[in-house]
Homo-oligomer: A and B are copies of this chain.
């Protein structure tokens, strides 16, 4: 086991801000990124927490992302707001577009936020949950660098791990939110298995020869596979079209081809859709959501998506988060700036 150190959520935020500032981000971008990093660690999503800060910082220092980017908001159509992110960091781009998305959804009934050229490296639930906090039903789609073969494919990477998220408001408690890659495994999961000498599941991917393998290192060299066979492959394709093509962003293949190996976020397109149940005439919507969840939970073996995250959220607010000491040292070192 790694030696760990306990940090409060505000420690994580401050430390992340300092490291991002020292790597060349301006305060607005640093705070937007640090907030999603803190919220990921708060909810036990370790792989999207402070763990990602060195990658963000490396990409900033190498100039692969623009830490001073100011997201440009374009009022594209009555129900579309666009953000030109100019290779800036996704969290500030999402923040910049959110108020307009919420206003349009409440005015028009349904609206969409289309972000292009943002550097995305975060979980998606931080994008959809605030919309559901505001009473909206929200969906989010992001593409990334190409790692995943289309359904039936064995050798060619075409799609990113292409996650999607969905959030729905609840009565008196945080929204129900799911956030899932359209690949069978998260790339980070395969990397951890390779590092720790564990075997890969057959469904995770294929080696560079297009053959099944239980060696995660071979899958990292080959292709990942969609979850759930051809149906998951169809979801991956849908996310690619919505996130990359409808926004005018780079496809996962284009992002992979321009990648310089900085270990940080990739340029991505990002589409968020928000719908207002009240504008649909559904005044009773939230009560019906609760009734549906009661029916699901009547089976004691069923859990709602995201419930472990919410349980962790309760805990970390008072108890903080244990992070590997080596990671803490690394981020603190970055925050001290160039020697």
Mark A residues whose CB is within 8 Å of B.
Answer: 74, 76-80, 82, 107-112, 114, 137, 139, 149-156, 158, 166, 168, 178, 180, 227-232, 234-235, 237-238, 240-242, 245-248, 251, 253, 273, 275, 277, 279-282, 285, 288-289, 291-292, 295-296, 298-299, 301-303, 305
Contacts and interface: CB of A to CB of B under 8 A. Distances in A.
Contacts of A154: 299, 301
B114 A111 contact: no
Q: Tell me the interface secondary structure of chain A in the complex.
A: mixed
A297 to B, nearest CB: 9
A241 B292 contact: yes
Contacts of A229: 227-228
A252 B237 CA distance: 28
Contacts of A227: 228-229, 231-232
Given A108-B108, A112-B110, A273-B110, A281 B76 contact: yes
B228 A282 contact: no
Contact of A231 (B151, B180, B248): B180
Contacts of A235: 235
Contacts of A78: 78-79, 107-109
Given A110-B110, A245-B282, A246-B285, 5 more contacts: A82-B281, A112-B275, A227-B231, A247-B280, A247-B282
B178 A234 contact: yes
Interface centre among A82, A149, A302 (most CB of B within 10 A): A302
B280 A114 contact: yes
Contacts of A112: 109-110, 275
Given A110-B112, A277-B246, A296 B77 contact: no
Interface centre among A114, A149, A299 (most CB of B within 10 A): A299
B76 A280 contact: yes
A161 to B, nearest CB: 12
A324 B288 CA distance: 44
B281 A149 contact: no
Contacts of A295: 156, 158, 251, 253
Nearest to A276: B77
A168 B246 CA distance: 10
